[in-house]
Amino acid sequence: MGIQFPEQYGGAGMSAIDYCICIEELARVDPAVALSVAAHNGLCAAHIYLFGNDEQRRQYLVPLARGEKIGAWGLTEPTSGSDAAAMRTTAVKSGDGWVLNGSKTFTTHGSVGDLFVIMAVTAGRPASPSSARAGRSKSVSAFIVEKGTPGLSAGRKEDKLGMRASDTSEVLLDNCHVPCDQLLGKEGHAFKDTMQVLDAGRIGIAALAVGLAQGAYETAVRYARQREAFGRPIGQFQAIQWKLADNATRIEAARLLTYRAAYLKDRSERTTLESAMAKLYASEIAVKAADDCVQIHGGYGFVKDYPAEKFFRDVKLTTIGEGTSEIQRLVIARQLLAR
């Protein structure tokens, strides 16, 4: 649960590429477990590691990295998903701390988390529409909120299509008082910090998609060897062979894009472009791999006796979570045009 964090903070001190391999291997068997590990490591714990001070790292990161506490990260709200800066949750200074009000949605570990990183608006939004866009992103701050803090509660637990072993819930903040020393990073700087957390987090989701695609592909290969039709294993028919060949090729390409982004991260380079490319491509080809896996299984792909049906349901999250495919394309295009 602390794969990439230094040992001094309770982590395993492994590289970004090691991290990808861990997430891949989990996703190959159960994508929902991989998702929980990725959200814990790549969002909540990473935000504290990247932008917390030493005291915050010791107090909050160490138990997360040791797996003693489960982390959650609250950015998305009911009316702000892709347009993350349009959040409405507020934090107002009061005495020796801040008072948070609002709600977060689609939060991984929202009902089971021990530690929450919550993004909230801490400054008035500019009235003029022309300065509104710039002002929005400079008015967001992040806070560490511990389970049990009065005013913090879990809302509805989502009844999801897939990834059902990983908790996704609303988080409600009702006059939730947080001490000053739980402000994470600089006041008004959390939007940019969040974008950097997501740059790294998206490599983890790319790895998850690669692992899921690999699991679906291997399931399809096993079935193609064993299932017979017209007197021979279906793997001997070109219709099946081409599906397997295309998937194996696409998975390898997605893996290399993902490792490239991880390699650049290990060199402390900015990976906005490479992370978005890896996440976009890996998630889109994973959807195809899971679809082909069901198709190769025929009727058995449509029932719960084989893992094909579960891969098919789980995979859709990868083109949505930590930024939709549409947002990845937007990020990629902005990076290309800014050159």
- For residue 65, the number of C-alpha atoms closer than 13 Å in the C-beta half-sphere is 24
Using CB under 6 A as the binding rule, whether residue 208 contacts ligand CAA is answered as no
Q: How far is the CB of 311 from ligand CAA (least distance, A)?
A: 20
Using CB under 6 A as the binding rule, whether residue 331 contacts ligand CAA is answered as yes
Interface with ligand CAA in residues 239-278 (CB under 6 A): 272
Pairing of strands 97-108, 90-94: antiparallel
At 303, list the tokens. 């029932």
Stretch in the footprint of ligand CAA (CB under 6 A) among 10-18, 105-113, 176-184, 279-287: 105-113
At 282, list the tokens. 């890996």
Going from the C-alpha of 131 to that of each of 128, 135, 137, 204, 338, the distances in angstroms are 6, 6, 11, 34, 21
At 307, list the tokens. 């893992």
Interface with ligand CAA in residues 272-301 (CB under 6 A): 272
Return the CA Rg of the chain: 21
> Which residue lies nearer to ligand CAA by CB, 84 or 213?
84
> Measured at the alpha carbon of residue 120, what is the angle toward residues 270 and 86, in degrees to the nearest 5?
75
> Which residue lies nearer to ligand CAA by CB, 75 or 172?
75
Q: How far is the CB of 258 from ligand CAA (least distance, A)?
A: 17
**Dist CA 337 CA 339 (whole Å):** 5
Site for ligand CAA (CB under 6 A): how many residues?
Answer: 27
- Choosing from 19, 51, 73, 281, the residue that interacts with ligand CAA (CB under 6 A) is 73
- Choosing from 5, 9, 49, 106, the residue that interacts with ligand CAA (CB under 6 A) is 106
Using CB under 6 A as the binding rule, whether residue 116 contacts ligand CAA is answered as no
Are 226 and 233 in contact, with CB atoms under 8 Å apart?
Answer: yes
- Choosing from 3, 27, 34, 39, the residue that interacts with ligand CAA (CB under 6 A) is 39
- Choosing from 170, 274, 314, 322, the residue that interacts with ligand CAA (CB under 6 A) is 322
DSSP-derived secondary structure letter, 78: T
DSSP H/E element including 40: none
Active site residue 322: yes
Q: Which positions ≥6 away from 250 have C-beta within 8 Å?
A: 213, 285, 288, 289
Using CB under 6 A as the binding rule, whether residue 87 contacts ligand CAA is answered as no
Pairing of strands 97-108, 168-179: antiparallel
> Which residue lies nearer to ligand CAA by CB, 3 or 224?
3
Stretch in the footprint of ligand CAA (CB under 6 A) among 5-13, 154-162, 193-201, 221-229: 193-201
Enumerate binding residues for ligand CAA (CB under 6 A).
39, 43, 73, 75-76, 82-85, 106-108, 134, 137, 191-192, 195-196, 198-199, 272, 321-323, 327, 330-331
Residues noted as catalytic: 322
